[in-house]
Amino acid sequence: AQSVTQPDIHITVSEGASLELRCNYSYGATPYLFWYVQSPGQGLQLLLKYFSGDTLVQGIKGFEAEFKRSQSSFNLRKPSVHWSDAAEYFCAVVSSNDYKLSFGAGTTVTVRA
Amino acid sequence: EAGVAQSPRYKIIEKRQSVAFWCNPISGHATLYWYQQILGQGPKLLIQFQNNGVVDDSQLPKDRFSAERLKGVDSTLKIQPAKLEDSAVYLCASRSPGTGVYEQYFGPGTRLTVT
């Protein structure tokens, strides 16, 4: 069965600084990976996805993620964070057999002025 | 295109009471999911529908939770009776039919507080 680990529970970053959120996955076959963001009181919004091809994927809101098969990682990055990026971020992997989505526990991002 | 709709957005009940949540998926999405998200955790799948049939309900506490999807469109998730540990956000998601379509689209969720 697939699984996702997000090692960082909480990250605090200054506005304008760079951000990197870590994600490690476990899956036997080619993984299909997602990053979702959840703002307070909101549902999950898809930031970006990786299915195949270029290992550096671009998403919405200036986010990007890099797939590294050798490290089983799919880390999310943003060069310069804005106060509106304060939210909870979830990495997820989907099974290509049954399309089931497995989420990590999430990383809460706090942005300080 | 309208997104996944859920109601109510918030609900507070006492333990042992019953509660129901409603979800309207994106038009044409045959697959519908209900997730439970406990504070500090990622969403956990409760039940998956394909049209109006249940595909997977292995994680649904069937002694108190039930769900249906009449006519393969809207869905209702019910808890009866509620326990304190049911306090969570209940998310509905839907997915377009077709092989190789992996994205799920989520509604805003219903935040349930059981006191």
Q: pLDDT tens digits, residue range B9-34?
A: 999 999 999 999 999 999 999 999 99
**Cβ contacts of B36 on chain A, cutoff 8 Å:** none
Q: Which of residues 73-112 of A touch B (CB under 8 A)?
A: 90, 92, 94, 96, 98-101, 103-106
pLDDT (average), residues B77-88: 97
Residue B12 to residues A21, B21, B86, Cα–Cα distance (Å): 34, 12, 11
Our CA-based measurement puts residue B83 at a distance from the nearest CA of chain A, in whole angstroms, of 22
Could you count the other beta carbons within 10 Å of the beta carbon of residue B75?
Answer: 23
Give the residue with greater pLDDT, A53 vs A112. Answer: A112
What distance in Å separates the CA atoms of residue B33 and residue B20, rounded to the nearest whole number? 15
Task: Judge whether residue A53 has pLDDT over 90.
Answer: no
Task: Judge whether residue B98 has pLDDT over 80.
Answer: no
Our CA-based measurement puts residue A68 at a distance from the nearest CA of chain B, in whole angstroms, of 20
**pLDDT tens column, A58-113:** 999 999 999 999 999 999 999 999 999 999 999 999 887 778 899 999 999 999 99
> HSE of A36 in the Cβ direction (CA atoms, 13 Å)?
23
Give me the pLDDT at residue A99, please: 81
**Cβ contacts of A34 on chain B, cutoff 8 Å:** 103
The pair of structure tokens assigned to A26 is 């476990």
pLDDT (average), residues A22-48: 90
**pLDDT tens column, B38-55:** 998 999 999 999 998 999
Is A59's Cβ below 8 Å from some Cβ in B? no
What distance in Å separates the CA atoms of residue A23 and residue A90, rounded to the nearest whole number? 9
CB pairs under 8 A between A and B: 50
The nearest alpha carbon in chain A to B108 belongs to A43
